[in-house]
Amino acid sequence: MTATHELEKTIDLPSNLTLQSIRFEEAIVEISEKNQHRFRLLGMYSDNVEREINDLAGVTYTIEFPNIIALPNFEIVTTNIPGQSKLTASIENLTATVRYDVVEDIALNQTIIADYFATFEQTGPIDLKWKSLLEYNSNEFTLESSLDNINFTQINQQNALGTSYDVVNYNYTDNTTENLIYYRLKAFDTFNNIVFEETIVVDRNALSNPEFNIEKRFTIYPNPVLANNFSIKLNKGIESFSLKLFDITGNLILEQNNLSSNGSNDVEIQLPNKLSEGIYLVQIKTNEFVRTEKLIIQN
């Protein structure tokens, strides 16, 4: 099975030059699934100068096994599933091929729940919301409620997506009149294993505090991070929390539990040494919520 792409962009070259040969900069690329690679197609011209010709008019790209890799534009290959595939470039009677060995990324073989929290008013229903960043062999979510944080009753069940690499939002509205109530969310995989379990508390009395912000419960600063540390600014009333730092593919980089504000709303977090530049995910868990925010690291 193959897929062919023809490009229409052109590069500016003197009219008296002729193309002698073409090649990819890399003959073999080993890369993980759900990733991307910038390739370079190079052409040797009659003036003995090699130029990048990814977007040269007349170049045709053919993909072997397009279920493994894809070509969204003239410079990026995206990977889908593990396997081996080839990208071939052709122009006139010249051809070049690069092989892609796509390997499994075990970091994707997990379910990551990024957010789990509630929105509510002094009276009326309570809206429970949660969001998955990754789902791997996920089967279902169950939501339970309790008035004493001991005895729980299931109030909702929702089917999960199986395996998904997209952000998925879930929600449930509880038409309760209780002022203090606990909610436990569980995620099960297809083998009935619990892959996520967290309990949050909803206290309507907290709304009487003018400094309570139900939407923005913590702030990360500075962001981007230029040094080896950053700070978490918490809403008043949050005395302790746990923190997880993930890279963009879901690998756990740092985990710290039972962090305390010690009377201050600002907590400094030391980063591991030699983190690469890029986007990371900071997950904060308290008794009231689980929330995840992006953190940009610049060296």
Average pLDDT of the residues in 26-39: 92
Lowest-pLDDT range of 4-8, 39-43, 98-102, 148-152: 4-8
Supply the DSSP symbol for 21.
E
Q: What are phi and psi of 106, to 5 degrees?
A: -65, -20
The pLDDT score that the predictor gives to residue 252 is 86
Is 77:86 a contact under the CB 8 Å cutoff?
no
**Given pLDDT bands bounded at 50, 70 and 90, which one contains residue 9?**
very low
Positive/negative CA dihedral, 65, 70, 73, 74:
negative
The two tokens of residue 210 are 């003018």
The predicted-structure confidence for 187-214, as pLDDT tens digits, reads as follows: 999 999 999 999 999 988 877 554 555 5
**Given pLDDT bands bounded at 50, 70 and 90, which one contains residue 57?**
confident
The pLDDT score that the predictor gives to residue 5 is 45
Instruction: Decide which of 233 and 130 is more confident.
Output: 130
Identify which of 79-83, 96-100, 164-168, 245-249 has the greatest average pLDDT: 96-100
Is 180:203 a contact under the CB 8 Å cutoff?
yes
Average pLDDT of the residues in 98-111: 88
The predicted-structure confidence for 267-290, as pLDDT tens digits, reads as follows: 889 998 878 888 888 999 988 889
**Given pLDDT bands bounded at 50, 70 and 90, which one contains residue 228?**
confident
**Given pLDDT bands bounded at 50, 70 and 90, which one contains residue 10?**
very low
Distance separating alpha carbons of residues 147 and 155, to the nearest angstrom: 13
Model confidence at 130: pLDDT above 50: yes
Model confidence at 261: pLDDT above 60: yes
The two tokens of residue 66 are 């397009």
Lowest-pLDDT range of 55-64, 189-198, 201-210, 251-260: 201-210
The pLDDT score that the predictor gives to residue 213 is 52
Closest CA to 288 of 237, 244, 227: 237
**Given pLDDT bands bounded at 50, 70 and 90, which one contains residue 122?**
confident
Output the DSSP codes for 38-84.
Answer: E--EEEEETTS-EEE-TT-TT-EEEEESTTTEE-SSSSEEEE-SSEE
